[in-house]
């Protein structure tokens, strides 16, 4: 039985590997010439490496808003090279070296993703390989599998979905430990953690209710 199982694994591994392929658009910034693939098509999902704000000729847009849009354009180019569109994107992670520019970044996201945005997490970092911003993303192959999860009473003006459900995964946005009554972040770190976990549970509870309705 053991030898049969090992034999099965040996047959199965090449099949899995055959489903994974690197994705490289025709025009990418010079900084994209690195050891990591800028994108990996894994069949049901496309994984996009962190993309900076440089144009294909290697120059950097002058304004921060233009840099955000260019970073998203670089993500878009990889997504399109895999035969998809930004509508297929279910999750993005943003790295900023200046959280004071969060509002500008948010405005550009709203313009780019429109009414059905992906889940998103934003992290402030001390330094990036490229100035100002880096964005990585996950896209689902079948856009019909993409369903936004928005709990009742979940208040947010952010251009993101609290959760994004696919056929086999749930992507949850980063949340702040905010008091829903006052809209303020408490000074007590323990209370802040509790509020953040409550907001995450709200996404989970909404998903559970949806599954129960569909059964």
pLDDT of res. 164? 93
pTM: predicted TM-score of the whole model, two decimal places: 0.82
Q: What pLDDT, on the 0 to 100 scale, is given for residue 1?
A: 42
What pLDDT score was predicted for residue 69? Answer: 97
Residues of the chain with pLDDT under 50: 1-18, 33, 212, 215
The pLDDT value recorded for residue 3 is 42
CB 60 within 8 Å of CB 31: no
Distance CA 78, CA 96 (A): 21
Task: Write down the pLDDT at residue 215.
Answer: 47
Sheet containing 147-149: give its strands across. 147-149, 163-165, 170-172
């Amino acid at each position: 039985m053991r030898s049969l199982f090992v034999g099965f694994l040996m047959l199965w591994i090449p099949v899995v590997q055959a489903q994974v392929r690197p994705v490289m658009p025709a025009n990418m910034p010079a900084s994209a010439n690195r050891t990591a693939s800028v994108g990996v098509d894994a069949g049901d999902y496309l994984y996009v490496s962190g993309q900076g704000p440089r144009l294909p000729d290697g120059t950097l847009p002058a304004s921060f808003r233009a840099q955000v849009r260019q970073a998203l354009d670089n993500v878009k180019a990889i997504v399109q090279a895999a035969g998809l569109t930004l509508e297929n994107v279910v999750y993005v992670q943003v790295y900023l070296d200046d959280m004071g520019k969060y509002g500008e970044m948010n405005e550009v996201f709203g313009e780019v993703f429109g009414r059905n945005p992906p889940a998103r997490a934003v992290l402030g970092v001390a330094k990036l390989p490229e100035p100002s911003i880096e964005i990585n993303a996950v896209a689902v192959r079948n856009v019909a599998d993409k369903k936004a999860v928005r709990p009742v009473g979940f208040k947010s003006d952010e251009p993101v979905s609290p959760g994004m459900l696919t056929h086999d995964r749930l992507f949850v946005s980063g949340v702040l430990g905010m008091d829903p009554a006052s809209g303020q972040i408490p000074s007590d770190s323990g209370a802040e953690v509790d509020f953040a976990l409550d907001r995450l549970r709200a996404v989970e509870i909404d998903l559970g209710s949806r599954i129960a309705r569909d059964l």
